[in-house]
Structure 1
Amino acid sequence: MKKYSFLLTLVLGLSLQACKDFLDEPPRGQQNTNNYYTTADECKAAVMGCYSLSDQSDWWQLDRTRMLGDVGSDDAWKGNAIAGDQREFGDFSRFFWLPNNEWFDNRYTHLYQAIGNCNAALVGIAKAPIDAELQKQLIGEVKFIRAYNYFELVKGFGGVPLVLQPVTAEEALTYKRATAEECYNQIIQDFKDAADALPEKNARAAIDKGRATKGAANAYLAKAYLFTEKWAESQQYAERVISSNQYNLNDDFSRVWSVSNPNGSESIFEFNYNANQTFNLGTSLTVVMRSRADGGWGFNTPSSNLEQAFVRENDPRLKWTIIKQGDSVDVKTASFDYSKYDTKPSENESGRISRKMFLLLKDRPANESNHSPLNRIELRYADLLLMHAEASYRLGQEDKARTSLNLVRARANRLKPGTVLPRTSTGTQLLNHIWLERRLELAMEGHRYYDLVRQHRLVAVIQAFNAAQVTSTDPYDKGKVKDQITEKNNFFPIPTPQIQLSGGNVEQNPGY
C-alpha cells in the first residue's frame, strides 16, 4: 500500500496442477525463513516489509485507528451523523467502550502483526551473511519499528504481552501481560539501540527519506520518557535532537501537512505514501475524513470546542486546522463550490472537517480511497519542542521551557504577525500554556487523548467539555456531550477475542 511496498512474503504459493506425478514431487521454489535472508537485498526487503506492516494495507486496519486520539478527546466527534455507519466509532467518541468493539481488536491485532514481522526480521537479519555495518543498521531500523509499534500499544492498552522473538500460535497463547513499566523499558532499549545504529536525517539518501533515523529514535526516547514522567531523561534526549540541527520550523505552519511538502524540515518520522494504483499504494484518511458532500465519508470532525480554543487566543492556526461550513478553501468548480465549502451538516455532527487531512481537488488521484499521497506525520519538531518545554518545566527550568514554547509560537505568529505573542507566564500558568500550545499546534493529529491521559486530566477535561456543550450556542454541535466518561477510559479495553484466545492468560483492564 505504501512507499514501503516491498512487503516480504515468506511463503510463495504454488499453483495446483491436475497431474498426479507433479503432486507427488517435493515442493520447488518455496521460500521460507530458513532459505531467505541470504543477501543484502533480501534483508533490505524484509525491513521494508516491517515498515509496510506497521501501516497495513487497508483503511479499516490501522489507518482509521489513528483517529482515536482525536475522537477520544474534546477535539473531535465521530463526525458522520448516520447512526448505523461505523456505529462502534460513535460509541468510542462517547466513551461507551466495550471490549467487543472491533476498533479495539483491529488496532491490537494489527500492531501485533507488525511486531511479529519485526521479530522475524531481527532473527533473519542477525544470521544473514552480509556486511556487518549494514547488518547493524538494518537491525537498528527494525528495532525502531518494533519500539514504535509497542509504544502505540502500551499508550492505549497499558501493559501488554511482551513478545520479542518469533513464536508459534500455540506459544503465543501462553503469554501473560507484562507491566506497563516492563513494556516501556523494552521500548526504551529498542529506541536506544536504534539511535546507536542509525544515521542522521541529512545522511539519508533522497530515496530513503522518511525511514527511521538517529533523530527519530532520540525523539521517541524523549517521548517515552515523557510518558513515564522521567523528566530529566526526556529533556536530555529532546536536547540531543535540538542540538543535532537536523530539524527546524522554517516551513510555514500552512505547509506542514501539505502534500507538496513530504518529509519537510520539521518532519522527524512520517509514513510515506504515493498514489500508485498498480501496486495499490496510498492512504485512505483523506477520503475517510472529508465531507460527504465532497466525496468523503465524513468521520473525525473537529468540535466547536476546539474551534473556540483558537478563537479565544486569536490564533491564525485555526484556518489551517479546521474547515467550517461555508469556508473558502479553493475556487468554485462545475461540480462543487470550494469557495463556500459544504460540510453537509445534515450528515456531519459538527459542520466541520479537518484541514490537515484535506486535499485540494487538483491533488486528488483517481480512485483516491486507499491511494492518497498525503503522508502521515507521526512525530515532528514542534511536538519535540513542546515535550522539551514540558520536561524542562517539571525540572524547575522555566527559562528553558519558555524558550522552546515560544519557538513554536513564533512560527505560528508568522501566519499573522502580532497575534501569537511570546508567553511570559510562570508556575502553573506556564504549564497550562504549554498544554494549551500542544492542543493548538497538534490538533487533529491524533495526540490529544493520549496527552490528556498522561497529564492525568482526561476525565476532568471531558467533564468540563460536557458542561460547556450544554450552554453552547454553536449552530452545529450545541448540546452534544460525551456522557460516558469515567476513570476506566484512561485505558482501552483489552479486546474480548484476545482474552478468549489466551484462555484467560491475558487479563482485562479494570472497569470493563
Structure 2
Amino acid sequence: MKKYSLLFVLALGLGLQACQDFLEEPPRGQQTVDNYFNTAAECKAAVMGCYSTTDQDDWWKIDRTRMFGDAGSDDAWKGNSIAGDQREFGDFARFFWLPNNEWFDNRYTHIFQAIGNCNAALVGIAKAPIDAELQKQLLAEVKFIRAYNYFELVKGYGGVPLVLAPVSPSESLTLRRNTTEECYAQIIADLKDAAAALPEKRAQPAGDRGRATKGAANAYLAKAYLYTEKWAEAQQYAEIVINSNQYNLNDEFSRVWSVDNPNGNESIFELNYNANQTFPLGTYLTSVMRSRADGGWGFNTPSSNLEQAFVRENDPRLKWTIIKQGDSVDVKTPGFDYTKYDTKLSENESGRISRKMFLLLKDRPANEGNRGPLNRIELRYADLLLMHAEASYRLGQEVKARQSLNLVRARANRLKPGTVLPRTSTGSALLDHIWLERRLELAMEGHRYYDLVRQKRLVAVMTAFNASQLTNTDPYDKGKLKDQISEKNNLFPIPTPQIQLSGGNVEQNPGY
C-alpha cells in the first residue's frame, strides 16, 4: 500500500551479515521496538510500514518479479531483445534457471524482509497500550499481510523457513525449511485470524480503501485451499465471499485495469500507488513493460501464442490485454503516433506489449519511474469466481461450476455481444474451459505460471508451446523457443546466497 511514505523497517535478518561488535552496541537517539508502539498513531504507522515493505520502494526488489507469472509461461517473453539488458530475466523467461540468478535472490530476500516487519509489528502492537478493538483490527491486518507474503514465497519456492517472531541475524542463519504443508497451514491460520477481525470492504472509511478486508482474507483462504487441493474448503470460502455481496463484475472489462478505477467493484486486494513526486510511492512496471519506442524498457511482452488463444475464441478481451505493433490506442502527438503504436521491433521479441500495464500519455506523471500511479490488482472477483468454478467441478458440482464460469464470460460478452457465449460443456471439457477462461480473463496479471504448476501441467503445456512455435507464422516471434523446461521448474531454486549463509541448513530444491 504505497500511498504511505513511512517505512517501518525492522529487519528479519535472513541473508544479513554484520559485525558482531556493531550489533552489540546499543542504539543512541533512535527509535527501537523498546521505545516505540506507545500510541495508536505509532501502531498504525507500523502497519503502514508492513504494507510498504510488502511492495518495497524500487523496481529491482519485488516489483520486477511480478513478471515471473507471465514470462515463466506460454503467455510472455523476456520482451526486451537486447541481450545484455537484464540477461538474468532472459534466463528466467527461457527456463534456464540457476540458483545464483539475482532475481530469485532479490524476491526471496525482500519478501522475507516484509515478513520480518510483520513479526516485529505483531509483537509491538500486542503490547501497546491502545484501544482493544483497534488493537485487534491492526493485528488482524498485519496477519493478513504476513499470510500474503508467505503465500508469495511458498507458491514459488515451496516450503521455506517459517519465522513467526523477530529473530536476530545469528538466529536467522540456523533456520531450516519447513514443509510446504506447514507453510500453508500457517498461511491459513493467519488468514482465519484476519477474517475474524477485519471489516468488509464497504464498511471501510473512504480513506482506508485498499487496505485488507474480511473479503480479502476469505478470498485468500479460498486460494490457499485451491492450491492445496482441498476443494470443499476452497468452495466454502469462495462462497463466503460471493454471498457477502461486497464485490461484482459491474465494471466493464476495459476498465478493470484503468488508472481511473482504483479499488473498483471487483477489486478484492490490490497494491495502491500514487504519483507523489517527493516519495517513490508508485510502481515501476508501467515503465518497465512499455515499448522502448514509447519511453519504456520493453520487458514482459505477450506472445503470439497468447494472442491466438483469444483469436481462436473470437474473444474481445484481446484488445484490452495486448497492444500489437500498429494498433491504435490513443491520438497522434508531436512526439509519438499512438494511432499506429510502435513496439520498437528491433528491440522487442514479440512486437507486442501488455495493455493492462499501459498508461496513456495523459496519465503518466513527471519523473514516472517508481511513481507510476496504476494500482497492482493481486486478487479480483473474476479470479475468485473461476476458483469457485474449479473447486465446484472437482466436487462433481458441474452446475455450480458453469454458473461461476459463465458469470465471468457474461461480463466479457458485454464488450461485443454475441462473441463470448455461455459454456455448456461437461466432464473434462468443462475443466479445460475453466482453465482456458483463467488464461483469457487473467492474462498478463502474473497468474499463468503458478496456475500451470498447481494444475500439474507446466511441462506438458510448455512442450506443446515449443512444438507450436516451430510452425508458427507470426511475423514477430515465430520460431522462438523456451528450450530448458523440465519438472524441476515447478519450483524456483532456493538462492545460492541463502544456502551459503545458512551453512547448509537451508536445502536446495530438487534438480538444482
Q: Scaled by the length of structure 2, what TM-score is found?
A: 0.96
Q: For residue 482 of structure 2, what is the amino acid of its counterpart? A: K
Q: Could you tell me which residue of structure 2 aligns to residue 130 of structure 1?
A: 130
Q: Could you tell me which residue of structure 2 aligns to residue 413 of structure 1?
A: 413
Deviation, structure 1 residue 27: 7.3
Work out the CA distance in 1 between the residues paired with 2:441 and 2:458.
19
Residues 34-433 of structure 1: matches in 2 within 5 Å? Answer: 34-433=34-433
Structure 2 SS opposite 1:34: coil
**After the TM superposition, which segments of 4 or more aligned residues of structure 1 sit over 2 Å from their partners?**
8-11, 26-30
Work out the CA distance in 2 between the residues paired with 1:328 and 1:438.
26
For residues 332-374 of structure 1, what are the alpha-carbon distances to aligned partners after superposition, in whole Å with 9 as ceiling and x for unaligned?
1001000000001110000000000000000000111101100
Q: Could you tell me which residue of structure 2 aligns to residue 467 of structure 1?
A: 467
Structure 2 SS opposite 1:257: coil
The change in CA–CA distance for 1:483 and 1:36 in structure 2 (over 3 A counts) is same
Q: For residue 107 of structure 2, what is the amino acid of its counterpart? A: R
1:33 matched to 2:33: yes
Work out the CA distance in 2 between the residues paired with 1:257 and 1:267.
10
Structure 2 SS opposite 1:59: coil
Structure 2 SS opposite 1:113: helix
Work out the CA distance in 1 between the residues paired with 2:9 and 2:494.
29
Counterpart contact for 2:10–2:120, Cα < 8 Å: no
Work out the CA distance in 2 between the residues paired with 1:216 and 1:352.
33
Structure 1 SS opposite 2:269: strand
Deviation, structure 1 residue 30: 2.2
For residues 424-470 of structure 1, what are the alpha-carbon distances to aligned partners after superposition, in whole Å with 9 as ceiling and x for unaligned?
00000000000000000000000000000000000000000000000
Q: Could you tell me which residue of structure 1 aligns to residue 476 of structure 2?
A: 476
Q: Could you tell me which residue of structure 1 aligns to residue 17 of structure 2?
A: none
Counterpart contact for 2:196–2:214, Cα < 8 Å: yes
Deviation, structure 1 residue 280: 2.3
Work out the CA distance in 2 between the residues paired with 1:62 and 1:453.
21
Q: For residue 322 of structure 2, what is the amino acid of its counterpart? A: I
Work out the CA distance in 2 between the residues paired with 1:9 and 1:431.
44
Deviation, structure 1 residue 132: 0.7
Counterpart contact for 2:173–2:503, Cα < 8 Å: yes
Structure 1 SS opposite 2:369: coil
Q: What is the aligned-residue RMSD (CA, Å)? A: 1.1
Aligned residues: 498
Counterpart contact for 1:7–1:52, Cα < 8 Å: yes
Counterpart contact for 2:466–2:483, Cα < 8 Å: yes
Work out the CA distance in 1 between the residues paired with 2:187 and 2:457.
25
Deviation, structure 1 residue 10: 6.6
Q: Scaled by the length of structure 1, what TM-score is found?
A: 0.96
Counterpart contact for 2:284–2:369, Cα < 8 Å: yes
Q: Could you tell me which residue of structure 2 aligns to residue 8 of structure 1?
A: 8
Counterpart contact for 1:88–1:102, Cα < 8 Å: yes
Counterpart contact for 1:4–1:272, Cα < 8 Å: no
The change in CA–CA distance for 1:197 and 1:459 in structure 2 (over 3 A counts) is same
For residues 185-240 of structure 1, what are the alpha-carbon distances to aligned partners after superposition, in whole Å with 9 as ceiling and x for unaligned?
00000000000010000011111000000000000000000000000000000000
Structure 2 SS opposite 1:48: helix
Structure 1 SS opposite 2:196: helix
Counterpart contact for 2:9–2:53, Cα < 8 Å: no
Q: Could you tell me which residue of structure 2 aligns to residue 17 of structure 1?
A: none
Work out the CA distance in 1 between the residues paired with 2:274 and 2:30.
31
Structure 1 SS opposite 2:55: coil
Counterpart contact for 1:302–1:444, Cα < 8 Å: yes
Counterpart contact for 1:10–1:31, Cα < 8 Å: no
Structure 1 SS opposite 2:281: coil
Q: For residue 314 of structure 1, what is the amino acid of its counterpart? A: N
Percent identity between the two aligned chains = 85
Work out the CA distance in 1 between the residues paired with 2:30 and 2:297.
42
Q: For residue 122 of structure 1, what is the amino acid of its counterpart? A: L
Q: For residue 349 of structure 2, what is the amino acid of its counterpart? A: E
Work out the CA distance in 1 between the residues paired with 2:118 and 2:178.
19
Work out the CA distance in 2 between the residues paired with 1:294 and 1:86.
19
Deviation, structure 1 residue 8: 2.2
Deviation, structure 1 residue 9: 5.4
Work out the CA distance in 1 between the residues paired with 2:395 and 2:5.
44
Work out the CA distance in 2 between the residues paired with 1:10 and 1:162.
17
Counterpart contact for 1:325–1:351, Cα < 8 Å: yes
Structure 2: gaps (5+ residues) = 12-25
Counterpart contact for 1:289–1:357, Cα < 8 Å: yes
Work out the CA distance in 2 between the residues paired with 1:199 and 1:379.
17
Q: Could you tell me which residue of structure 2 aligns to residue 444 of structure 1?
A: 444
Q: For residue 452 of structure 1, what is the amino acid of its counterpart? A: L
Work out the CA distance in 2 between the residues paired with 1:418 and 1:104.
44
Counterpart contact for 1:498–1:506, Cα < 8 Å: yes
Structure 2 SS opposite 1:176: coil
Work out the CA distance in 1 between the residues paired with 2:49 and 2:42.
10
Deviation, structure 1 residue 7: 1.8
Structure 2 SS opposite 1:446: coil
1:456 matched to 2:430: no
Work out the CA distance in 2 between the residues paired with 1:132 and 1:57.
32
Deviation, structure 1 residue 6: 2.3
